Amino acid sequence: MRNKIFGLLILLILIFSCQQKTEKKLDINTSANIEFADDKGNKISKTELEKYTETFSYDAVYYKKNDVTQLASSFYEQGKKYQKETDNKKAIEEFKKAHKEAPNWIYPIYNLAVLYLLEDDYENALKYYQLADEIAPKGFYATKVALHTLQREKVGNLKKGVYKNYLLLELEGLLTGEGSINRFVNKSAIRELLDEADTFAPIWKDYALFLDTTEEKLNAIEKGLAQDPDIETKGVLLINKAIFSNENGDFKKATKILVNVIFDPNSTVSNVEMAKFYLNSIIKK
């Protein structure tokens, strides 16, 4: 199972400018040995970056064939069938059977967390997101986002239901533009949640992509970074900041941000892979 970096729950849709950058860049295309380094001396070469593509698989990080029995797979597939039919209660029962049969298999656990949240069972949703985070400490889809947000809701730092409403926007495709051919409908839905919870960093990430100018996008990203984002969202905000900074002609700033994300020990696996992909992309332009 291979998953696009731009997958539904991660929502990493980013738009590159095809215009010529105003800042003069190094003639990196003539040197395969050029390296990019952070302030601590960690380095990555242009040659190494070239192997990264927009396709990323969580299975390569977390999936162990021996952990998943045929019976567990059968329960899981039945659960997905019920999930597509929006029969959440039956889907939950099948995913619980899969989890019991294969305790370390993260997919049933993650699906249980999502379905419990949709059923307004916040206690169990938090329980399974926490379990998913324990099994996948370097990130798995929106686990980091969900866990951080639900914990804030639990202590009253955010209004209860913010993350569920955000998840519904994701599932409806309104964060990426897939749910409506009218981008203004999408922007309006995002703006409504933003007005309700402007200290919720992920919504600033998504709202930025619907703004018109690069300057407006960068301002929205800075507002998101100021809202105590979870580590997954922080990484995406920084990567977006690098991309839009590059569009503004600041190639040096863009590469520095991406290199720092790559070597940040707290970065999630998807953040690191995405930062490498975009660093390789901008140095080719």
pLDDT tens digits, residue range 29-86?
A: 445 567 888 889 899 988 888 877 666 778 766 666 567 999 999 999 999 999 999 9
Residue 133 domain-assigned (yes or no) = no
Residue 170 domain-assigned (yes or no) = no
Using DSSP, state whether 48 is helix, strand or coil. helix
Residue 49 domain-assigned (yes or no) = yes
Residue 144 domain-assigned (yes or no) = no
Q: What confidence score (pLDDT) does residue 63 get?
A: 61
Q: Hey, which residues does 35 pair with through a beta bridge?
A: 45
Report pTM: 0.85
Q: Which residues make Cβ contacts (< 8 Å) with residue 195, sequence separation at least 6?
A: none
Domain with 20 in it: 3-58+197-284
**Which DSSP symbol is given to 213?**
S
Between the two ends of the chain, the Cα-to-Cα distance in Å is 31
Q: Hey, which residues does 3 pair with through a beta bridge?
A: 56
Residue 90 domain-assigned (yes or no) = no
Q: What is the C-alpha to C-alpha distance for residues 108 and 106, in angstroms, rounded to an integer?
A: 6
Going by C-alpha positions, the residue among 210, 127, 102, 78 that lies closest to residue 112 is 127
Residue 252 domain-assigned (yes or no) = yes
Compute CA 257 distance to the chain's CA centroid, rounded to the nearest angstrom.
17
Residue 4 confidence (pLDDT) above 60: no
Q: What confidence score (pLDDT) does residue 276 get?
A: 94
Total domain count, the chain: 1
Q: What is the C-alpha to C-alpha distance for residues 193 and 204, in angstroms, rounded to an integer?
A: 10
pLDDT band at 8 (very low <50, low <70, confident <90, very high): very low
Residue range 269-285: mean pLDDT, rounded: 89
Residue 41 domain-assigned (yes or no) = yes
Residue 91 domain-assigned (yes or no) = no
